[in-house]
Amino acid sequence: MTTLVTVPELETRFAGVITPDTRKGYEGYIVDVQHLKDFAKALRDEYGYDYLASLTGVDYLPEDRMEVVYHVYKSTGGPGLVFKVQVPRENPIVPSLVDIYPGANFQEREAWDLLGIRFDGHPNLRRILLWEGFWGHPLRKDWREPYFEEEGKPYSSRWPEGKHFHHEDRNPFGKNVDYPPGFDPYTWEPETADEILYQAVLKRSEIRDDLRTERVVINLGPQHPSTHGVFRMIVTLDGETIVALEPVMGYLHRNHEKIGERNTWIMNIPYTDRLDYISAMANNFGYVLAVEKLMGIQPPERAEYIRVIMAELTRIVNHLWAIGFLLNDLGAFFTPALYAIEERELILDVFEAVTGSRMMNNYFRFGGVARDIPEDAWEKMVELVTDRLPRKVDELDRYLTESELIKSRTIGVGVLTAEEAIALSTSGPVLRASGVPYDVRRADPYSIYDRFDFDVAVRYHGDVYDRYLIRIDEMRQSLRILQQAIRDIPEGPIMAGKPQYQVRVPPGEAYGRVEAPKGELGFYVVSTGKPNPWRYHVRAPSFVNLIALETMCRGHKIADVVTILGSIDIVLGEVDR
């Protein structure tokens, strides 16, 4: 399970600047706002905590303060360290850490957007998931959505003897909208005009050289066949070469965190399915780990094995999909994807038999899994894992890896060096393809991953080709883990204690991180002992990996953007949440 440490040396060195967090259930240090940058710099340069995994804010309304929480790790592996800064709720300003950890970029923008915490010194502090001009900062505890009913579920209108009503009937517009008092739509002027955004991107690419050529701004998406969903990029070109790129997201921002904070703990499990909807059970895994850490329970042996089996099958599903659609983006339209989807369908059959659903599995529970694997599904899975899938992975490898189409379009394209990859907080295949053998399953083992014999796949060129190859490698390693898990799985119960609807979660905070197929997926949860989480934050791997997109694309041709984006393998449910 995710472990955090305290470094005694820090306390003596930064005496007066940092204080250990002594609240019940909390860990780490509280850092004085004035000295945050010095502290972070020392952590990175002298203590080796060079990887900022997660950054998020928490609104402690009763105590009238905002808190920003940082989770940092060593890129060589091992437990992490958490530190926090506290600022007043009224006009919270925190120094930006973008120049120390460039990977803080989007996460700070998100905290500004949703919580209204201003990061002083951030190069581009604009809203990221919502649009400029949106009314309020929705994750603040006193902000209410138009369909607001009660602070937390279960709502009395639904349970125990409630009568359901349509929210539309109570809204004067019959829609999910609300407007500030005194707002006049006739005199209103938009703040979010695309031209402003285009000008900003154009300005950023201004280079003073002798030969002045005209820059062209191109907009890709959000409705574009190769953006893997509703993702949008604004690209500035010099001829055909990219000089600046600005990702625009939020077109699928469906308020995961706000809804999650209204939900009871267990209600969030099906919502996590819909984060990275291609690998639903990996998301379940991260969330239940975080909550189990708070609750202090341990699932039984058999459940641990089932979890690992499901998570690894999910990884294979995801990588098959990613490879198929990377090839789509390269111009091999749909044929390689059809080969990949064929295998995916067979794995989904197993999922359907085990969990009851093809995609949205909702299978993990606090302290175990929902149900045992039925006999026929087990046999089917054993056949897949031991016979069919190894053959099919080899087949994909044989068909694709030496293909000229792939090699000429991907080798040397979208290079990300190891230093950049760590600094930009990338994770998963993107980080490992750049030569950093960092895999949460090895670096900070959770569940029972320390029992299995597998290699952390790593490649060293950091280009699109390596990011493709690493997915093939990882599928092979996943199959190795699966074969061992199938061999070793014991009989026994699959749930610790009785299944219950309302779980009791003691007050405190927890950060659960897993190696999801797309990278490090983290859940930061804060409990106050009530039936609903006080804070529920998702550190989504594809969201953070997108910070590296501009670095990867700069200097390449416009046609390569699509390939590079395909090689990061984003899924918009997770990027926008």
165 forms part of the interface with another protein (CB under 8 A): no
Stretch that binds another protein, among 48-56, 100-108, 202-210, 254-262 (CB under 8 A): 254-262
* Closer of 293 and 344 to another protein (Cβ): 344
Stretch that binds another protein, among 171-179, 464-472, 488-496, 542-550 (CB under 8 A): 171-179
The C-alpha atoms of residue 575 and residue 4 are separated, in whole angstroms, by 26
* Closer of 183 and 501 to another protein (Cβ): 183
The C-alpha atoms of residue 474 and residue 562 are separated, in whole angstroms, by 23
185 forms part of the interface with another protein (CB under 8 A): yes
Is 170 within 8 Å of 164 (Cβ atoms)? Answer: no
176 forms part of the interface with another protein (CB under 8 A): yes
Query: φ, ψ for residue 405 (rounded to 5)?
Result: -55, -45
Closest separation between CB of residue 515 and another protein, Å? 22
Closest separation between CB of residue 21 and another protein, Å? 31
The C-alpha atoms of residue 301 and residue 352 are separated, in whole angstroms, by 23
Is 316 within 8 Å of 302 (Cβ atoms)? Answer: no
DSSP string, 101-150: -GGGHHHHHHHHHHH--EEET-TT---SSS-TT-SS-TTSTT---TT---
Closest separation between CB of residue 356 and another protein, Å? 12
258 forms part of the interface with another protein (CB under 8 A): yes
332 forms part of the interface with another protein (CB under 8 A): no
Stretch that binds another protein, among 249-257, 411-419, 540-548, 554-562 (CB under 8 A): 249-257
Tokens standing for residue 537: 């934050």
- Among 48, 152, 154, 222, contact with another protein (rule: CB under 8 A): 222
566 forms part of the interface with another protein (CB under 8 A): no
Between 335-355 and 389-400, two packed helices, what is the crossing angle to 10 degrees?
Answer: 160
Closest separation between CB of residue 338 and another protein, Å? 5
Question: Which residues on adjacent β-strands are paired with residue 519?
Answer: 516
- Among 79, 190, 296, 529, contact with another protein (rule: CB under 8 A): 190
The C-alpha atoms of residue 408 and residue 430 are separated, in whole angstroms, by 20
Query: Which conformational region is residue 373 in: left (phi greater than 0), alpha (psi within -120 to 50 degrees), or beta?
Result: beta
Q: How many residues does the chain have?
A: 577
* Closer of 178 and 397 to another protein (Cβ): 178
353 forms part of the interface with another protein (CB under 8 A): no
For 312, the 3-state DSSP assignment is helix
Closest separation between CB of residue 138 and another protein, Å? 5
Between 301-330 and 335-355, two packed helices, what is the crossing angle to 10 degrees?
Answer: 160
Buried b (16+ CB within 10 A) or exposed e, 83-104: bbbbbebeebebbbbbebbbbb
Tokens standing for residue 214: 């005209």
535 forms part of the interface with another protein (CB under 8 A): no
For residues 122 to 151, the per-residue mask of contacts with another protein, x marking binding by CB under 8 A and - elsewhere, is: --------xx-xxx--x------xxx-x--
- Among 121, 225, 331, 529, contact with another protein (rule: CB under 8 A): 225
For 326, the 3-state DSSP assignment is helix
- Among 102, 229, 414, 566, contact with another protein (rule: CB under 8 A): 229
* Closer of 302 and 344 to another protein (Cβ): 344
Stretch that binds another protein, among 6-14, 68-76, 205-213, 335-343 (CB under 8 A): 335-343
| Residue reference for tokens 């469906």 | 254
Closest separation between CB of residue 504 and another protein, Å? 25
Closest separation between CB of residue 436 and another protein, Å? 30
Distances from the Cα of 172 to the Cα of 147, 167, 175, 179, angstroms? 11, 10, 8, 11
Closest separation between CB of residue 151 and another protein, Å? 13
Binding site for another protein (CB under 8 A): 130-131, 133-135, 138, 145-147, 149, 167-168, 172-186, 188, 190, 192, 222-225, 229-230, 250-255, 258-259, 262, 270-271, 274, 277-278, 337-338, 341-342, 344-345, 358-360, 572-573
